[in-house]
Amino acid sequence: MEPNPFFRPEVVLPAAEFLDSRACYLATVSDNDRLLACLPVRSSTRWGRALLPMVRTWKHQYCFLGTPLVDSDPSVGPAALRRLMSGLRECPGRPQVALLEMVNMDGPLASWMRPLMAVAGGSAVMYGSRTRGILHRSVCEGPDVRLARRRLRLRRRLEREIGAPVQLVDRSDAVGVESFLQLEASGWKGRQGSALASNPNHAQLLRRWSATLEEEQRLQVLFLQAGDLPLAAQVNVLDGDGLFGFKVAYDERFARRSPGVLLELEARELWCANGPGTFVDSCAGENNRIINRVFPGRRSLGTLLLPLGGLVSSAAVATAPHVGKYVHRWLSPREAASAPIDGTPASTEASGP
């Protein structure tokens, strides 16, 4: 129904192998040989300090979207989604609730999901929400004079400092991926140990994933260069009608000339001219000031808490809005860093049919 490159097998399988040792399950709905719906999940016995058997979206630090994969055929998609949601109670550990994280609440799948959210009676809760920058084709219909002026100004300043013309180069292949890994590791992420190349397993994930993407012509690696000198680079993934941001890096020696900002502006110009897809999801943080200027649209992501049957299940979901901010404080540092929960419920959905 909606593209989600982070739940496709070419990334889920190596991510489970290289990044996360916890058990991952695939909740699926199929009709003979036809896969109708899929969601990677994991079981948990705790939510923060609270003892609560639950099933939650399986994700890792490089997973930036949690929307389930569902067949786009309207004659089978809604029923498949209903079966997927209700079937989560069959996951190991006899879960009482399901926590679905980073679900796109603006797309067509959300319209299917809302009337199906109460899968076992009671009301489901959209426990938290956030937004991030997105670029739609409508933005390209007229020039943004302010951004165009800034792009030319940054380009001139960078070219004066380097003494050579700057250009945007498409290097969407294995060599480009290796160059990106080197550039990212040369900066603060390398010193901090958070660059992909700082961990052989993380670098191997990108290599394995990008090899499939390149073969399917869904990989985009853009470099801002002065001759052969890389100044900034980004890795993007094409899935369906969307282009999704994955990683960005820049040469810190030229940080005061903002090569990373210029790269975003040049990439936007390229996409508006002849880029693939109908939208670009920045996959950036909600408060990324630079990205929010370049990507003027907003994508809403929700964290959904669903009851899976029984009094405990319904009570847990019903009280979540009142105890949510305390539960979030109790999360472990690892959970707190990845949990898309703002501590305040965004809304409560009425019971479905």
The predicted-structure confidence for 214-234, as pLDDT tens digits, reads as follows 999 999 999 999 999 999 999
pLDDT at 353: 27
Region 89-109 average pLDDT: 88
pLDDT at 343: 33
Residue 200 token pair: 């052989």
Q: Do residues 179 and 62 share a domain?
A: no
Report CA-CA distances (Å) from 286 to 2, 130, 132: 21, 7, 5
Angle between helices 174-185 and 200-215 (to 10 degrees): 150
CB–CB of 65/104 below 8 Å? yes
**Ranges assigned E (strand) in 137-268:** 167-170, 219-226, 229-239, 242-250
| 344, pLDDT greater than 60 | no
Q: Do residues 290 and 304 share a domain?
A: no
Range of lowest pLDDT (39-53, 123-137, 211-225): 39-53
Could you tell me which of 289, 291, 290 has the C-alpha nearest to residue 280?
291
Beta-bridge partner residues of 301? 104, 130
Phi, psi torsion values for 99, nearest 5 degrees? -115, 110
CATH number of the domain at 313, please.
3.40.630.30
User: The pTM is what?
Assistant: 0.86
| 248, pLDDT greater than 60 | yes
Number of domains in the chain: 2
Q: Do residues 88 and 187 share a domain?
A: no
Beta-bridge partner residues of 35? 30
Q: Do residues 59 and 173 share a domain?
A: no
The answer as to whether 188 is a domain residue is yes
Report CA-CA distances (Å) from 115 to 30, 79, 107: 21, 11, 14
Q: Do residues 176 and 274 share a domain?
A: yes
272-293 tens-digit pLDDT: 999 999 999 999 999 999 999 9
The answer as to whether 114 is a domain residue is yes
Q: Do residues 182 and 226 share a domain?
A: yes
| 28, pLDDT greater than 80 | yes
Q: Do residues 201 and 121 share a domain?
A: no
Q: Do residues 95 and 224 share a domain?
A: no
Contacts of residue 135, defined as CB under 8 A and 6 or more positions apart, other chains included, come to 268, 271, 279, 280, 282, 294, 295, 296, 297
The answer as to whether 345 is a domain residue is no
Q: Do residues 29 and 117 share a domain?
A: yes
Q: Do residues 249 and 108 share a domain?
A: no
The answer as to whether 187 is a domain residue is yes
The answer as to whether 349 is a domain residue is no
Region 179-206 average pLDDT: 96
CB–CB of 221/234 below 8 Å? yes
* Domain carrying residue 187: 135-294
Region 105-112 average pLDDT: 88
CB–CB of 254/263 below 8 Å? no
| CA atoms of 80 and 76, how far apart (whole Å) | 6
CB–CB of 241/279 below 8 Å? yes
Q: Do residues 73 and 198 share a domain?
A: no
Range of lowest pLDDT (112-126, 190-204, 248-262, 331-345): 331-345
| 346, pLDDT greater than 80 | no
What is the percent of the chain where pLDDT is above 70?
84
Contacts of residue 226, defined as CB under 8 A and 6 or more positions apart, other chains included, come to 158, 159, 162, 164, 165, 166, 167
Please give the residue that has the higher pLDDT: either 24 or 35: 35
Nearest 10 degrees: Cα torsion 315, 316, 320, 325: 130
pLDDT at 147: 94
* Per-residue 3-state assignment (H helix, E strand, C coil) for 25-40: EEEEEEECCEEEEEEE
The answer as to whether 351 is a domain residue is no
Single-letter residue type at 131: T
pLDDT at 168: 98
CA atoms within 13 A on the CB side of 234: 21
Contacts of residue 192, defined as CB under 8 A and 6 or more positions apart, other chains included, come to none
Q: How far is CA 286 from the centre of its chain?
A: 12
Q: Do residues 67 and 190 share a domain?
A: no
The answer as to whether 278 is a domain residue is yes
The answer as to whether 94 is a domain residue is yes
